């Protein structure tokens, strides 16, 4: 079974072009499924894995652990993908996890960081030193391009097209996209690559296949490293009670575009969403913003009408 999991890992990495984080999550879910059978003293082979009953026992086990519905759905999704992979290789004839219908988790509204807090984060960064300059650039890319954290850490020098003022993003599910770069960001990227990054990297030569962002150990930055940078910035602006994640900045990117009148399909393309429904959740946040703006600024909302009651109990407006 381990050989199949290894083959599946290669399939996700090469054929599906999934990020390292996504692949690791898939493999983690599969190994948990395997471990469950071992703990139950059940042989982990093709005979018992073709039974729908075994799949339901595993899901029951997940429910007993009181996992959130969205976590269970993710694990089942991983197993469905694995079974599809096995069917393509003629190991199975049917996908037992497709027979199981789970209750869909209600979609939560994205947590949004305010524009004020975003600007406070920028102001908290000291760009006079190399790491500060790098961190400013990271924050600018997250906010100006709406990148996922996995997309950010996987950026390479070759992905930046200075002549076209664009950056190539290798998105989820093999959905790649070109994003525009504003003039100041383009200028900062060029200075970072030829000056700051050269300082962080012991090698004097610049290889276009190298990762864009390095840590102080001259290794590519990780998701954990990006989160640590944001945590430190929150501490500096005395917002350490608020957990600002890279994805919250991505949400802010989408919301500010919609609030300023951007077309929903344009925002969909910029975010790299396959389905428009995924992007539509931001319209609710945007509509809330519009409502608040209306209630705050429209003169009729602040107009107080004087009225008096008639003896009949009716209301007579003056």
Calpha distance 265→280 (Å, rounded): 9
CB contact burial 282-299 (16+ within 10 A = b; e otherwise): beebbeeeeeeeeeeeee
Which pLDDT belongs to residue 265?
A: 92
- Answer for the pair 226, 213: CB distance below 8 angstroms, yes or no: no
Choose among 20, 279, 234: nearest CA to 139. 234
Instruction: State the Cα–Cα distance between residues 86 and 4, nearest whole angstrom.
Output: 8
Using left for φ > 0, alpha for ψ between -120 and 50, and beta otherwise, residue 317 falls in beta
Among the residue ranges 90-99, 189-198, 285-294, the one predicted with the least confidence is 285-294
pLDDT-based confidence at 109, cuts 50/70/90? low
Active centre residues (catalytic): 148, 172, 247, 250, 273, 282
Residue 73 CB: number of other CB atoms within 10 A? 15
Q: How confident is the model at residue 317 (pLDDT cuts 50, 70, 90)?
A: very low
CA dihedral 73, 76, 82, 86 (to 10 degrees): -140
Distance CA(294)–CA(300), nearest Å, equals 10
Mean pLDDT of 259-276: 90
pLDDT at 306: 56
CB 316 within 8 A of CB 308: yes
Going by C-alpha positions, the residue among 227, 201, 230 that lies closest to residue 213 is: 201
- Output the CA–CA distances (angstroms, integers) from residue 20 to 129, 150, 175, 222, 223, in the order listed: 30, 8, 16, 11, 11
pLDDT tens, 185-233?
999 999 999 888 877 776 656 777 899 998 888 889 999 999 999 999 9
Mean per-residue pLDDT, 69-80: 87
Mean predicted confidence (pLDDT) in 135-144? 97
Residues 6+ apart with CB under 8 A from 316: 307, 308, 309, 310
pLDDT of 307 > 90? The answer is: no
For the chain, which domains are there? 2-98 (1.10.150.130), 115-296 (1.10.443.10)
CA-CA distance, 312 to 314, in Å (whole number)? 5
Whole-number percent of the chain with pLDDT over 70? 82
> How far lies 194's CA from each of 21, 134, 147, 190, 210, in Å?
29, 12, 23, 6, 13
DSSP code, position 220: B
Among 124, 56, 146, CA closest to 96: 56
∠ Cα 112 115 117 (to 5°): 85
pLDDT on residue 71: 86
Residue 307: its H or E element:
strand 307-309
Quick one: angle between helices 52-64 and 20-39, nearest 10? 100
Q: Tell me, what's the pLDDT at 128?
A: 92
Q: Write down the residue that tokens 């996908």 correspond to.
A: 95
């Amino acid at each position: 079974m381990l050989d199949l999991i290894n083959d599946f890992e290669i399939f996700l990495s090469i054929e599906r072009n999934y990020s390292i984080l996504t692949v690791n999550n898939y493999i983690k879910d599969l190994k948990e499924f395997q471990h469950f059978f071992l703990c139950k003293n059940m042989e982990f082979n093709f005979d018992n894995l073709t039974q729908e009953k075994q799949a339901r026992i595993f899901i029951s086990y997940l429910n007993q652990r009181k996992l959130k519905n969205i976590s269970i759905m993710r694990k089942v999704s991983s197993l469905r993908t694995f079974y599809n992979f096995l069917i393509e290789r003629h190991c199975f004839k049917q996908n037992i996890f497709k027979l199981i219908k789970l209750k869909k988790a209600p979609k939560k509204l994205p947590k949004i960081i305010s524009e004020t807090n975003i600007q406070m984060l920028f102001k908290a960064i000291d760009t006079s030193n190399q790491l500060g300059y790098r961190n400013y650039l990271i924050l600018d890319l997250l906010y100006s391009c709406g990148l996922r954290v996995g997309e950010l850490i996987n950026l390479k020098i070759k992905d930046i097209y200075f002549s076209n003022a664009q950056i190539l993003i290798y998105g989820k599910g093999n959905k790649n996209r070109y994003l525009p770069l504003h003039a100041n960001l383009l200028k900062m990227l060029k200075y970072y690559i030829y000056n700051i990054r050269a300082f962080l990297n012991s090698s004097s030569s610049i290889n276009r296949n190298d990762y864009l962002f390095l840590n102080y150990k001259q290794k590519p930055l990780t998701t954990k490293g990006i989160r640590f940078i944001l945590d430190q910035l929150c501490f500096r602006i005395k917002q350490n009670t608020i957990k600002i994640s890279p994805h919250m900045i991505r949400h802010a990117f989408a919301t500010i575009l919609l609030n300023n009148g951007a077309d929903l399909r344009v925002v969909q393309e910029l975010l790299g969403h396959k389905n428009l429904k995924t992007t539509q959740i931001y319209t609710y946040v945007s509509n809330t913003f519009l409502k608040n703006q209306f209630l705050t600024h429209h003169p009729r909302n602040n107009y107080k009408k004087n009225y008096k009651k008639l003896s009949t109990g009716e209301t007579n407006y003056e």
